[in-house]
Protein backbone atom coordinates (compact mmCIF):
# COMPACT_ATOMS: atom_id res chain seq x y z
CA UNK A 1 0.00 0.00 0.00
CA UNK A 2 1.15 3.50 -0.76
CA UNK A 3 1.78 5.83 2.17
CA UNK A 4 -0.99 8.39 2.75
CA UNK A 5 1.23 11.27 1.66
CA UNK A 6 1.75 9.97 -1.85
CA UNK A 7 -2.02 9.81 -2.39
CA UNK A 8 -2.28 13.42 -1.18
CA UNK A 9 0.47 14.54 -3.54
CA UNK A 10 -1.19 12.84 -6.55
CA UNK A 11 -4.65 14.18 -5.74
CA UNK A 12 -3.40 17.71 -5.29
CA UNK A 13 -1.34 17.65 -8.48
CA UNK A 14 -4.54 16.61 -10.25
CA UNK A 15 -6.12 19.95 -9.29
CA UNK A 16 -3.70 21.71 -11.67
CA UNK A 17 -3.31 19.22 -14.52
CA UNK A 18 -6.17 18.14 -16.74
CA UNK A 19 -6.38 14.59 -18.13
CA UNK A 20 -3.93 15.59 -20.89
CA UNK A 21 -1.28 16.20 -18.20
CA UNK A 22 -1.12 19.93 -18.98
CA UNK A 23 -1.95 23.09 -17.09
CA UNK A 24 -2.28 26.83 -17.57
CA UNK A 25 -1.51 28.60 -14.31
CA UNK A 26 -1.86 32.32 -13.56
CA UNK A 27 1.08 33.91 -11.71
CA UNK A 28 0.59 36.92 -9.48
CA UNK A 29 3.51 37.54 -7.14
CA UNK A 30 4.67 40.55 -9.13
CA UNK A 31 3.49 43.26 -6.71
CA UNK A 32 6.16 41.91 -4.38
CA UNK A 33 8.79 40.58 -6.77
CA UNK A 34 8.83 43.48 -9.25
CA UNK A 35 6.76 46.10 -7.45
CA UNK A 36 3.23 47.43 -8.15
CA UNK A 37 4.48 49.26 -11.28
CA UNK A 38 3.98 45.93 -13.09
CA UNK A 39 0.22 46.60 -12.82
CA UNK A 40 0.37 50.04 -14.43
CA UNK A 41 -0.58 48.83 -17.94
CA UNK A 42 -3.97 47.71 -16.48
CA UNK A 43 -4.04 49.43 -13.10
CA UNK A 44 -7.34 48.02 -11.87
CA UNK A 45 -5.53 44.66 -11.59
CA UNK A 46 -3.57 45.98 -8.63
CA UNK A 47 -6.69 44.83 -6.77
CA UNK A 48 -6.20 41.06 -6.39
CA UNK A 49 -9.93 40.32 -6.27
CA UNK A 50 -10.56 42.02 -9.60
CA UNK A 51 -7.91 40.14 -11.56
CA UNK A 52 -8.45 36.78 -9.84
CA UNK A 53 -12.20 37.00 -10.54
CA UNK A 54 -11.44 37.60 -14.24
CA UNK A 55 -8.91 34.79 -14.66
CA UNK A 56 -11.09 32.28 -12.83
CA UNK A 57 -14.10 33.20 -14.95
CA UNK A 58 -11.99 32.74 -18.12
CA UNK A 59 -11.28 29.13 -17.12
CA UNK A 60 -7.70 29.15 -15.79
CA UNK A 61 -6.53 25.77 -14.37
CA UNK A 62 -4.63 27.15 -11.39
CA UNK A 63 -3.21 30.26 -9.76
CA UNK A 64 0.05 31.02 -7.97
CA UNK A 65 0.14 33.73 -5.30
CA UNK A 66 1.89 34.80 -2.10
CA UNK A 67 0.00 34.21 1.17
CA UNK A 68 -1.29 37.75 1.75
CA UNK A 69 -2.85 37.85 -1.71
CA UNK A 70 -4.56 34.49 -1.14
CA UNK A 71 -6.09 36.00 2.00
CA UNK A 72 -7.47 38.91 -0.06
CA UNK A 73 -8.64 37.02 -3.15
CA UNK A 74 -8.78 33.33 -2.25
CA UNK A 75 -12.57 33.44 -1.99
CA UNK A 76 -12.73 34.20 -5.73
CA UNK A 77 -11.31 30.76 -6.59
CA UNK A 78 -13.57 27.93 -7.74
CA UNK A 79 -13.48 24.67 -5.81
CA UNK A 80 -11.51 23.04 -8.65
CA UNK A 81 -9.01 25.88 -9.26
CA UNK A 82 -5.56 24.65 -8.22
CA UNK A 83 -3.98 26.95 -5.65
CA UNK A 84 -0.20 27.22 -5.52
CA UNK A 85 1.18 29.24 -2.64
CA UNK A 86 4.71 30.51 -3.06
CA UNK A 87 6.79 30.83 0.08
CA UNK A 88 9.85 32.69 -1.19
CA UNK A 89 10.54 35.98 -2.92
CA UNK A 90 12.69 39.12 -2.93
CA UNK A 91 12.01 42.77 -3.62
CA UNK A 92 13.74 44.81 -6.27
CA UNK A 93 14.42 47.40 -3.58
CA UNK A 94 17.31 45.30 -2.29
CA UNK A 95 20.88 46.03 -3.31
CA UNK A 96 21.43 44.45 -6.72
CA UNK A 97 23.87 41.78 -5.52
CA UNK A 98 21.38 40.62 -2.86
CA UNK A 99 18.65 40.17 -5.46
CA UNK A 100 20.29 36.83 -6.30
CA UNK A 101 18.65 35.40 -3.17
CA UNK A 102 14.98 34.64 -2.55
CA UNK A 103 14.09 34.57 1.14
CA UNK A 104 11.37 32.62 2.87
CA UNK A 105 8.46 34.93 3.70
CA UNK A 106 5.94 32.43 5.10
CA UNK A 107 5.74 28.81 6.17
CA UNK A 108 4.29 25.54 4.89
CA UNK A 109 1.66 25.75 7.66
CA UNK A 110 0.50 29.14 6.35
CA UNK A 111 0.00 27.71 2.86
CA UNK A 112 -1.96 24.79 4.29
CA UNK A 113 -4.17 27.08 6.38
CA UNK A 114 -4.95 29.02 3.19
CA UNK A 115 -6.08 25.85 1.40
CA UNK A 116 -3.04 25.39 -0.86
CA UNK A 117 -2.88 22.46 -3.29
CA UNK A 118 0.85 22.94 -3.90
CA UNK A 119 3.74 24.78 -2.27
CA UNK A 120 6.22 26.72 -4.41
CA UNK A 121 9.73 28.05 -3.82
CA UNK A 122 12.42 29.52 -6.06
CA UNK A 123 16.02 28.40 -6.39
CA UNK A 124 18.40 30.60 -8.37
CA UNK A 125 20.81 27.92 -9.55
CA UNK A 126 24.26 29.43 -10.00
CA UNK A 127 23.67 32.29 -7.58
CA UNK A 128 26.23 33.08 -4.86
CA UNK A 129 23.29 32.33 -2.50
CA UNK A 130 22.58 28.93 -4.11
CA UNK A 131 23.54 27.10 -0.93
CA UNK A 132 21.01 28.99 1.22
CA UNK A 133 18.23 28.55 -1.35
CA UNK A 134 18.96 24.81 -1.69
CA UNK A 135 18.63 24.38 2.05
CA UNK A 136 15.50 26.51 2.14
CA UNK A 137 13.97 24.43 -0.65
CA UNK A 138 14.97 21.19 1.10
CA UNK A 139 13.27 22.26 4.34
CA UNK A 140 10.09 23.34 2.58
CA UNK A 141 9.96 20.26 0.33
CA UNK A 142 10.70 17.75 3.05
CA UNK A 143 7.96 19.09 5.33
CA UNK A 144 5.42 19.60 2.52
CA UNK A 145 6.00 16.07 1.19
CA UNK A 146 5.58 14.61 4.67
CA UNK A 147 2.15 16.24 4.81
CA UNK A 148 1.09 15.13 1.31
CA UNK A 149 1.65 18.40 -0.56
CA UNK A 150 3.38 18.62 -3.94
CA UNK A 151 6.25 21.05 -4.27
CA UNK A 152 6.93 23.32 -7.21
CA UNK A 153 10.41 24.62 -7.90
CA UNK A 154 10.90 27.82 -9.84
CA UNK A 155 14.28 26.72 -11.14
CA UNK A 156 15.89 29.87 -12.44
CA UNK A 157 19.56 29.79 -13.36
CA UNK A 158 20.89 33.17 -12.37
CA UNK A 159 24.38 34.25 -11.32
CA UNK A 160 27.61 35.92 -12.39
CA UNK A 161 29.53 32.79 -13.38
CA UNK A 162 26.72 31.63 -15.72
CA UNK A 163 27.26 34.58 -18.01
CA UNK A 164 31.02 34.10 -17.91
CA UNK A 165 30.76 30.40 -18.79
CA UNK A 166 27.75 30.23 -21.12
CA UNK A 167 27.14 33.79 -22.28
CA UNK A 168 23.60 34.13 -20.91
CA UNK A 169 21.20 32.58 -18.43
CA UNK A 170 18.79 31.51 -21.18
CA UNK A 171 21.42 29.25 -22.83
CA UNK A 172 19.62 25.91 -23.04
CA UNK A 173 22.48 24.11 -21.28
CA UNK A 174 22.01 26.34 -18.25
CA UNK A 175 18.21 26.05 -18.21
CA UNK A 176 18.54 22.28 -18.67
CA UNK A 177 20.99 22.13 -15.77
CA UNK A 178 18.56 24.05 -13.53
CA UNK A 179 15.65 21.78 -14.50
CA UNK A 180 17.72 18.71 -13.78
CA UNK A 181 18.81 20.12 -10.43
CA UNK A 182 15.14 20.80 -9.62
CA UNK A 183 14.22 17.20 -10.46
CA UNK A 184 17.12 15.88 -8.41
CA UNK A 185 16.09 17.98 -5.41
CA UNK A 186 12.63 16.39 -5.44
CA UNK A 187 10.42 18.95 -7.20
CA UNK A 188 7.03 17.65 -8.39
CA UNK A 189 6.68 20.47 -10.94
CA UNK A 190 9.32 22.72 -12.48
CA UNK A 191 8.87 26.24 -13.78
CA UNK A 192 11.66 27.62 -15.92
CA UNK A 193 12.76 29.90 -18.78
CA UNK A 194 12.19 29.59 -22.49
CA UNK A 195 15.35 28.47 -24.29
CA UNK A 196 14.67 29.97 -27.69
CA UNK A 197 13.67 26.88 -29.69
CA UNK A 198 11.49 23.79 -29.54
CA UNK A 199 14.52 21.49 -29.92
CA UNK A 200 16.40 22.97 -26.99
CA UNK A 201 13.29 23.14 -24.77
CA UNK A 202 12.70 19.44 -25.55
CA UNK A 203 16.13 18.74 -24.05
CA UNK A 204 15.14 20.62 -20.89
CA UNK A 205 12.01 18.46 -20.66
CA UNK A 206 14.11 15.30 -21.14
CA UNK A 207 16.62 16.39 -18.51
CA UNK A 208 13.74 16.77 -16.03
CA UNK A 209 13.17 13.03 -16.53
CA UNK A 210 9.39 12.92 -16.11
CA UNK A 211 8.88 15.84 -13.74
CA UNK A 212 6.45 18.20 -15.54
CA UNK A 213 8.16 21.32 -16.90
CA UNK A 214 6.18 24.55 -17.25
CA UNK A 215 7.22 27.70 -19.00
CA UNK A 216 7.78 30.84 -16.95
CA UNK A 217 5.86 33.41 -19.00
CA UNK A 218 8.20 36.41 -19.13
CA UNK A 219 7.60 40.02 -20.15
CA UNK A 220 4.49 40.88 -22.17
CA UNK A 221 5.13 40.29 -25.85
CA UNK A 222 4.37 42.96 -28.44
CA UNK A 223 1.66 40.91 -30.11
CA UNK A 224 -0.51 38.29 -28.41
CA UNK A 225 0.23 35.81 -31.20
CA UNK A 226 3.94 35.97 -30.42
CA UNK A 227 3.22 34.70 -26.92
CA UNK A 228 0.77 32.05 -28.14
CA UNK A 229 3.43 30.80 -30.56
CA UNK A 230 5.96 30.54 -27.77
CA UNK A 231 3.59 28.50 -25.62
CA UNK A 232 2.74 26.33 -28.62
CA UNK A 233 6.45 25.53 -29.05
CA UNK A 234 6.65 24.61 -25.37
CA UNK A 235 3.76 22.16 -25.78
CA UNK A 236 5.26 20.70 -28.97
CA UNK A 237 8.53 20.24 -27.06
CA UNK A 238 6.76 18.12 -24.44
CA UNK A 239 6.30 20.89 -21.88
CA UNK A 240 3.40 20.54 -19.45
CA UNK A 241 2.07 24.08 -19.89
CA UNK A 242 2.85 27.55 -18.64
CA UNK A 243 2.76 29.79 -15.58
CA UNK A 244 1.85 33.20 -16.94
CA UNK A 245 1.64 36.59 -15.25
CA UNK A 246 2.33 39.73 -17.26
CA UNK A 247 0.98 38.42 -20.57
CA UNK A 248 -2.34 38.01 -18.77
CA UNK A 249 -2.69 40.76 -16.15
CA UNK A 250 -1.18 43.56 -18.23
CA UNK A 251 -4.26 43.37 -20.49
CA UNK A 252 -7.41 45.28 -19.56
CA UNK A 253 -9.45 42.27 -20.63
CA UNK A 254 -7.37 39.15 -20.01
CA UNK A 255 -10.13 36.68 -20.97
CA UNK A 256 -9.40 36.38 -24.73
CA UNK A 257 -5.70 35.73 -24.04
CA UNK A 258 -6.49 33.10 -21.40
CA UNK A 259 -9.02 31.35 -23.65
CA UNK A 260 -6.59 31.37 -26.59
CA UNK A 261 -3.83 29.99 -24.33
CA UNK A 262 -6.18 27.22 -23.15
CA UNK A 263 -6.81 26.28 -26.80
CA UNK A 264 -3.06 26.04 -27.43
CA UNK A 265 -2.23 24.22 -24.20
CA UNK A 266 -5.10 21.73 -24.13
CA UNK A 267 -6.12 21.36 -27.77
CA UNK A 268 -2.80 21.90 -29.55
CA UNK A 269 -4.53 24.53 -31.65
CA UNK A 270 -2.49 26.54 -34.09
CA UNK A 271 -1.61 29.86 -32.35
CA UNK A 272 -2.99 32.06 -35.14
CA UNK A 273 -6.23 30.08 -35.28
CA UNK A 274 -6.57 30.28 -31.51
CA UNK A 275 -5.96 34.04 -31.61
CA UNK A 276 -8.56 34.50 -34.35
CA UNK A 277 -11.12 32.37 -32.52
CA UNK A 278 -10.79 34.60 -29.44
CA UNK A 279 -10.80 37.88 -31.31
CA UNK A 280 -7.13 38.67 -30.71
CA UNK A 281 -6.42 38.99 -34.43
Q: Catalytic amino acids?
A: 191
Q: How far apart are CB 266 and ligand FBP at their closest, in Å?
A: 19
Position 74 contacts ligand FBP (CB under 6 A): no
Q: Which residues contact 60 (CB under 8 A, 6 or more apart)?
A: 24, 25, 26, 81, 258
Q: How far apart are CB 2 and ligand FBP at their closest, in Å?
A: 32
* Cβ neighbours, 10 Å, residue 170: 17
Phi, psi of 210, deg, nearest 5:
100, -15
Nearer to ligand FBP, 243 or 274 (CB): 243
Member of 15, 54, 203, 246 binding ligand FBP (CB under 6 A): 246
Q: Which residues contact 279 (CB under 8 A, 6 or more apart)?
A: 256
Q: How far apart are CB 242 and ligand FBP at their closest, in Å?
A: 8
Nearer to ligand FBP, 50 or 221 (CB): 221
Position 153 contacts ligand FBP (CB under 6 A): no
Position 68 contacts ligand FBP (CB under 6 A): no
b/e code 191-206 from CB counts within 10 Å (16+ = b): bbbbbeeeebbbbbbe
Using an 8 Å Cβ cutoff, are 69 and 47 in contact? Answer: no
* Cβ neighbours, 10 Å, residue 54: 23
Position 245 contacts ligand FBP (CB under 6 A): yes
Using an 8 Å Cβ cutoff, are 195 and 174 in contact? Answer: no
Nearer to ligand FBP, 33 or 130 (CB): 33
- Cα separation, 150 vs 64, in Å, equals 13
Position 126 contacts ligand FBP (CB under 6 A): no
Nearer to ligand FBP, 175 or 244 (CB): 244
Q: Under DSSP, is residue 10 helix (H, G, I), strand (E, B) or coil?
A: helix
Give the H or E element holding residue 63.
Answer: strand 62-65
Interface map 203-232 toward ligand FBP (x if CB under 6 A) = -------------xxx--------------
* Cβ neighbours, 10 Å, residue 28: 26
Position 265 contacts ligand FBP (CB under 6 A): no
Member of 9, 23, 27, 116 binding ligand FBP (CB under 6 A): 27
Position 61 contacts ligand FBP (CB under 6 A): no
The footprint of ligand FBP (CB under 6 A) covers: 27, 29-30, 33-34, 216-218, 243-247
Amino acid sequence: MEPYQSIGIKRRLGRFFRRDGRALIFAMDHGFEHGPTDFEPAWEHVDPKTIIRKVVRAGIDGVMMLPGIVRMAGTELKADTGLMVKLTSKTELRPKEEQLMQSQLAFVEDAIKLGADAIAATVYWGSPAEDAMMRQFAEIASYAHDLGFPVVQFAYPRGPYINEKYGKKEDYRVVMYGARAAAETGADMIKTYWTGSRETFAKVVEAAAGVPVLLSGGAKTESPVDFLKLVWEVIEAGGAGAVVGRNIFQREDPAPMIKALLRVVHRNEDPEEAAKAEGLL
